[in-house]
Structure 1
Amino acid sequence: MSTQDDYKIKDTKPQLGERWPHGGVRGGGWITNERITSTYDLVEQMYYLYVRVVKAQNLPPNPVTGSCDPYVEVKLGNYKGKTQRFEKKTNPEWNQVFAFSKEKIQSSVLEVFVRDREMVGRDDYIGKVVFDMNEVPTRVPPDSPLAPQWYRLEDGSRRGEVMLAVWMGTQADEAFPEAWHSDAASVHGEGVFSVRSKVYVSAKLWYLRVNVIEAQDVESEDKSQLPQVFVKVQVGNQILKTKVCPTRTISPFWNEDLLFVAAEPFEEQLVITVENKLSASKDELIGRLNLPLTVFEKRLDHRAVHSRWFNLERFSFGVMEGERRKEHKFSTRIHLRACLEGGYHVLDESTMYISDQRPTARQLWKQPIGILEVGILSAQGLLPAKTNAYCVAKYGQKWVRTRTIVENTSPKWNEQYTWEVYDPCTVITLGVFDNSHLGSKDKDSRIGKVRIRLSTLETDKIYTHSYPLIVLQPSGLKKMGELQLAFRFTCLSLAHMLFLYSRPLLPKMHYLHPLTVSQLDSLRYQAMNIVASRLGRAEPPLRKEVVEYMLDVDSHMWSMRKSKANFFRIVSLFSGLVSMSRWLDEVCKWKNPITTILVHILFFILICYPELILPTAFLYLFFIGLWNYRLRPRHPPHMDTKLSCAEVVHPDELDEEFDTFPTSKAQDVVKMRYDRLRSVAGRIQTVVGDMATQGERLHALLSWRDTRATIIFVFFCLCAAVALFMTPFKIVVLLAGLFLLRHPRFRSKMPSVPSNFFKRLPARADSML
């Protein structure tokens, strides 16, 4: 049983390296600003013996078979790595790199064998090259790569030469990502590609806006009646339809906007079909139009886009039944206005954890305000026991994936990556997964996830923490291990960063031409599908389940647990106001006479000197801020299991949360959950109704729905205006304060006159069915 302390962040003290530069694109290749220099000092230095096998020449053929199928075997102690095998080639080129961890080296010599693959029996031995480990040079970036050399094969039955380069380096070496690692020596075949570390760039997404205006000369197969037409537009898997034209005409008019998500490079086409509504379940295809997305202009602002007429391809049937032929009909055409909009930021993740706020068009990007460097150090105590773990980090368009450590519950990655930061109010997400390519599983299982909000980090400070990896499963909350990270947020311009706090969160187009909530939900879902599809086509692929977990694809699904958590968040939010009202009630009822007398004294001072009211209020807030400084959080916030109501969640509520959509449960279970949902929704409905009632009563004061009540209120306003005009403001405030703070002896237990009057005002609830 896990305790609350198991779910907290822990301080760690890893032996981080000194500030030393690194090569390759893994950490710094994404940075394009020449002023930015990245270092590799947030990870522990790990030394590797690198062996680059380039090629071989003059390999003699086998005297028996008359051919040569060569491959190279690199052996260091108990570890062996093999290159691919070529068939019938005496001058093969491999250009493969092998990396052996220095911690696991148990031999003083390195042996490189060249062998000839035999179909039956043992492979023929051509020759080998032996290196003394004490003579291997050390290379530290930014030194240039070590030049390979030709080595003559020795001790074999045949002769030849092989080109090799052998050196000692660190994980900062540019050869590290593509190398075969001794940590994954048991991986063979296609699985080798799935264990390497990689950097991915997600697809650049655009909003495609299609304004379907009108059509002309639309004819149905049935000439006896006019068509009732609608337009269906498809981009990839996205299909949207206009409304059916309310009138039967050959020149229908819609003027509807349809929004899609498109990704560069634009591989899909825009498919437009005009259809006639024959009945509720039957439609007739009238015409069709295919357009590549590259024909549409890219709009960066709200300037007008010119509309265009397009001729439709008309489909009809031939003489023989079922035989379909296509003919071009130039009289039927459709009027469209379409463009690719780059002024928006295409959301592909939950808005609560957004990691990028830039518009799509690179021309609208500003200069970065900082650099985020993350060192993915290691993990501890991972579950299950035999875990092929790798870590994925996502920030903005850049995704990174560490190498897979095979069958190790405490993997050490020690890989560092760098991102440009354009807004501090963003979140980086890191997830740990079990590689299914190396086992019998169909999906990469989730081990846990960590989110870090950059605005909670101090600049230029190195954070080294161990984060719990927590997963909510159908069986309950479970800690799957811990992830050790080191990260640093470096600010390039403090003034620019502070200025951003006054700027809108999203690009300008989101406010000039806002999208509806339903549009945003649909577009976000399509964007996530496109990102998952494109990253799944990379090598090695980022599987769909990994991308969906990183993007919180199910964050908007109904959950009784989340509903409770949000309710308690609201209660906590108003707890301060409740405490203040209770304190004021105690003061007014003289439960603590000394406090009440002090409040009277302060009240008299503020009345005598009203110019001190605002300065006193702001000074009070200033001292409260100073007082809370010593209570400030020492660590970046992490997933709070208590706040999420994940520790005490009921098993049936968990079973409901992990149910499929639509449900796959039995009828009696669905009935019970439906009744429970109705009960909860009924309470929410009552609260919302009460809030609406109070607002409608305020509106009824002057709406003359209750004539007598409005006459009373209007007459009261006239009398109050005259009285306030004739009475000094200080006296008014003084009398109001004394009335509020009066002794309980002068209080009545009955509701006040204003409260009775307000409750008698009419609301629109009387008009509801």
Structure 2
Amino acid sequence: MASQIPNKEKHLEDLQKCAFFQLHVHLKRGVDLTVQDVSGSSDPFVKFRINNKTVHKSKIVTKDLNPLWDESFTLSIGDVFKPVVIKVYDYNRVIKDDFMGMADLEMTNLELNKLTKITLILYDPDRSTGNLGKLLLSVTLEPKSYEEKEEFIRNSVTPTMNLHEEVERKVSCTTSNVIIRLIKGENLRPMDPCGSSDPYAKFRLGTQSHKCRSKIKTLAPRWLEEFKLNLSSNQSHDLEVTLHDKNILKRDDFMGRCNVDLSQLQHELTHRLWLNIEEGTGRIFVLITITGRTGDDTIEDLNNYREDRYANEVIAKKYAWTRTFRDIKDVGFLQVKVFRAQGLSAEDFGGTSNPFCVLELVNSRLQTQTVYRTLSPEWKKIFHFNVKDIHSCLEVTVLDDDGDSSRPDFLGKIAIPLLRIKNGEKKWYVLKDKSLRFKAKGHFPEILLECSVQWNMVRASARSLTPREDKFMEEEGKRFRTAKLNRNIARLKPYIRDVINLGKYFRSVWRWESNSRSFMAYVIFLLATYFFELYMLPLLLVFLFLKNSWVLFVSKKGFIDDHVDEFTEESQNEDEN
């Protein structure tokens, strides 16, 4: 138990003077927990709750009545006079988890800034049972000043509970989108007699779930699936992933599971996670992004954003040439401000849409909130990307949100090369179709953006010598498309025509169809034989430039424009067909 405090009244006065606290917890182990499974064991895990909200959930220790968790974490405490409720459960895959006991951690019995070892006796409030076991942990209660409290609120990436009622009120209305991209798995457990499996994955977040398609006869599947789950600040942040082997005539086999605590992931950043499979073998690779937060208190909202000159100077110094070799892989930093769009097409009944904007930089993906029933949405969000290759493009896509039941409708897209960005320029970009060749549907659809990029030229040059980063969600074996073949042939037609005309010209010279032309060619051949050197080869480009200038002067229209018009006309015919 906690040590006795000599002067209790003075200690309580000291607690009241502090603005808020941080409780550093080391959950060690459980002792003599109760049996819940028919096998004579349990799969215990622990939940820490403050104000009826779960603020931490421990890992699950399978088949052990004396589990060793050995976890360390920190809780933010607003009211130190309310106890932390600790509950122990037995994990069940199908039915509801079994309650194993609970205990109350009274923080008023803890000395400030002192490590205290505690043994908590578990009890059941609904019935008077015998010994339910014990929990062993050590805690340290650290007080914080009012200035540290306000700074903690400003700098907190995830919503922080139990600071004061105003923060709780704001956080309670904050929702986010969790974008999950399941890429691949490796070394999974074989479940079939042939030594293989037909694995698929299930994701569960609160009451929401998503089932990925199965891959046939493989222990290293590549799913390449993307989906979205909604995350509210007042719900559990524990993302549960289970793997199963698909069977036709019998129940699917369980292959393993893994958990992700979303509260530990930074918002507006794509996290690359290798998740080890518990109760099985192997691991899976996922990309998780928590983005699209709503609410006036979100950090990425432009209404709350204030330009920080000092922060800009720090970023500029970070990518200065004098610091080139400190982190050679960190090429640059991209900031994108998404203001609004207009002229979008109506995809829903009533002549409106529910647009949201997705920003992608290779494998990093962020998005705005959804603005409902409008064709001129205002998002007013600011996003940041870490640039790994200065030659990559920022892809901005506007989509219509049709809810969780169907895929969003396409409204428009643009691709902005990072090298063409003018820092601080607020600019309207015309939205294109999926091929980025024609204007998107709608009444002259466009989007207002402001981009700024800081980058180190030496690092970018070194990165240019290495292979381009693969985009995970691109299809590997793209099927043959006749329309794409016709489009590529249309692109080559002008150049093939030029080669044919050049061949006809040389044939007329060899046949002396024009005496003056053949004579001039003979003279040029003699001069080249006597005087031409290899370093003069680039002069042929000057000849091509002069030829095109002559064509422009004579015909008042360049052959390049003819080719572009012809290519556009043929492409439009393909789209109509």
**TM-score relative to the length of structure 1:** 0.32
Rg (Cα) greater in structure: 1
**TM-score relative to the length of structure 2:** 0.41
Q: Which has the higher contact order (CA 8 A, sep 6+)?
A: 1
